[in-house]
Amino acid sequence: MNSDLPIPQGNYVPAKRHGSLIVTSGMTPRREGVLILTGNVSSATPLEDYREAVELACGNALNAANAQLRQGERIAAVLSLSVFIAADPDFTAHSKLADFASDYLRDRLGPQGVGARAAVGVATLPGNAPVEIQLIATV
């Protein structure tokens, strides 16, 4: 198994391909199966403090998508990016936090790495993760 691939935390696969579409499972900021950050995102904490977690979750999703590529293929575009944020009730900077994921994808894939996006606040996420990211890409 590729060590860059996220380790599923349940009965699912990291990504699934159908034709030229790749859909990833929701990815949390886990390195070798272990969360690097837990707890809700708070408005009292600088957004920058969450950048590493968001980028790791996004990187896990991109690695899962890349694992579905065949020889000579590449991700042509990210069509959709969903960023779920376990946020305290007073947190309102969802879009700014999700920008860390959009920037990460743009830096790695160019302009085609930025697609449609949803930034959604939720009460909890698996394992008490602060963020979970899911993407849909085309080959």
The domain ranges of the chain are: 15-138
Let me know if 47 is exposed, middle or buried by CB neighbors in 10 A (0-12, 13-18, 19+).
middle
Answer yes or no: is pLDDT of 1 > 50.
no
Structure tokens at 20: 């030229």
Answer yes or no: is pLDDT of 6 > 90.
no
Q: How many other C-beta atoms can be found within 10 angstroms of the C-beta atom of residue 63?
A: 18
15-138 — its CATH code?
3.30.1330.40
Which residues have C-beta within 8 Å of that of residue 61, sequence separation ≥ 6?
15, 24, 27, 133, 134, 135
> What local confidence, expressed as pLDDT, does residue 124 receive?
97
**Average per-residue pLDDT in the chain?**
95
Contact 9, 126 (CB under 8 A): yes
The pTM of this model reads: 0.94
Q: What angle do CA 77, 107, 40 make, to 5 degrees?
A: 95
Question: pLDDT (tens digit, 9 = 90+) per residue, 51-74?
Answer: 999 999 999 999 999 999 999 999
